[in-house]
Structure 1
Amino acid sequence: MRTASEPNGRQHPTRVSAADVARAVGVSPATVSYVMNGRSGVSEETRAQVLETAEQLGHTSTARASRLRSHQSRVIGLVLTDIANPFYTEIAAGTIDAARARGYEVFLTHTQEDPTTLRSIVDAMIARHVDGVVFTVLHPDDGDVVRSLRSARIPLIQVSRRIERIDADFVGIDDRAAAAEMMEHIVGHGYQDIVTIVGPRTSSASAAREEGFTRTAEAHGIRSIASHRISTYLSEQGGYSAVEELLARKALPRAIVCGSDAIALGAISALRAHSIAVPNDVAVTGFDGLFPGASSLVELTTVNQPRREMAEQALDLLTRRIDGAGGSYQSVLRAHQLRIGTTCGCPRQGSEAIV
């Protein structure tokens, strides 16, 4: 560390700034900041030069990050609900791309909502010394796996769903507000007989969506009863089975509002298998925005989630934690959009409308 002389001849340390490091390397202070925070956009050669120079000059923040990185595996765990669900497929792709841009590889796995599988996965990740973990699967009773990671000093971040009571970063959308917007649109068509089909209620996202659907319907005088609210597995098969259940009970409604696009596609498949037209006989909506643009197969009315942006933001927050510079825990809500297709009963407009 550099020193400066005092009048009595003693030496005292002078704080080395990012600008000092930038001048010594011949790069901008922004480049030094990117390196310190483990962000992309800097070549590996420049990154190495900045870290080496920072160590030599005694830039404490960067030196600390360098020491932390020297003990890292450069692997991040990603625990998904079900890789077969296109929502999680895109989260995975976005996470892997963002991780590699920061010099990390990804240990990818899924639980299919099984708590025993989650426990064994987390144990394996701890044994392999991953640097951090991204979760899309946590339920309220999964606190023990979080405590295990805390004990191992491995940071985590929650994406899409969360355990409210734990101290951890979160990236998602306002599921309750998005669901309310969708139900407002459906009620606007004049539908009164409406069934909602969501994923497991132990998922904070599914529970919030069901609450948004139900409260909005009730605000319009549409009575919500248990038989009109179904919870199923987050998959096409889950949606298909839910509609088969409605048909068996002879309780097919005028509109089915789904908590995910995968569920909606399964519902539409079941209806078509019974020669029930969508939307003329039964309107159907989804949630997630998995199928951008008009599709020749289905023009699904849904809620767009910025999945890749969510993954990128999650990796940014997580790598800051890994580098010891995370600060206070953050809850980041990204913007969603209602995308109007034809499955709700709206006319085809050449392409789907974003509102």
Structure 2
Amino acid sequence: MEQLKKLDKIKVAIADDLDFFRKVLVDIFEEEEEFIVSGVYKNGQELIKNIFAIKPDIILTDFKMPDGDGLYVIEKINEMKYNIPVILISSYAKQDNEGILECLEKGAVDIIEKPTEQSFKASFDLLKTSLLKKIRYIYNNCVVLNQVKTVESKTTDYIAIGASTGGTKAIETIMRDVKRLSKTTIFISQHMPARYTTAFAQRLNSICSNGITEAINGEKIKSGHCYIAPGNFNLIFAGDHIELTDASKQIVSPGIDIMFQSFVSEAEKTCGILLTGMGSDGATGLKKLHDHGAITVVQDERSSVVYGMPKSAIEIFIVDYILPLNLIAGFINSISQ
């Protein structure tokens, strides 16, 4: 599969109520060849009003400003399901921990401290270096939804998700935002003791748009449904039905490598996703899927509770997409039916 083709220039949108600081940011990006400033606004309301016209790759917004602050921008971006990484820039970062945490919880990918006019000369170089470094990293590791749709028009019939430490919360976050599916079916293997997987499936089913149940050996696969591997069993995709094999003697179970490898015959119709977790289970199976034409995704380091499993995959092959947790549901929606 072809790697994501980056745009010629990284398009940055800026919202800040200080004329002085807007000019500083514009000057920083105009000095760098790979950037273009697609829009400059005095507040968040103006930025959001023009968002579909300017189509930025990254948004830089002040944390506190009248007529639409940083939280307003993040919430509106979320409402529109328009997954653009948002970086907060603020001189209030140290004073308003609760406000900053709320922005981060709702999707801000980072925060940079804004220098005052008085301290500007002394801190300009540090600001510029830090800002450009963060934006390059975020752009290269976050796939914006509108870019995914342009580059990857392929849709999938099957999505296989594996997770371990930190995975229950990650899976809940993803599945809560996955649209109602008509054809694509989702299969999940989360390392978990047997006595908890039933309750986990029931909890997900109560908060998500799609039917989610614990898999049963031999049951026919229903399009648009989601299946959770039961504890002490490996979930095997067997064409039109599910097979469960004993995993009680495995160190970790349900087995993620085993589940991924069972989709090899349908790899070109499959997307494999490896989330947060300790160890390396899933890396080999994800590579095998990739080698047979599947779309492959791993959760990024920043949003992972433990980066072991995603890192193991990245170390043995070139994964198609490395995504922060808050963009994975949008990605699934873009390739699902």
TM-score in same-fold range (> 0.5): no
Larger radius of gyration: 1
Normalized against structure 1, the TM-score is what?
Answer: 0.32
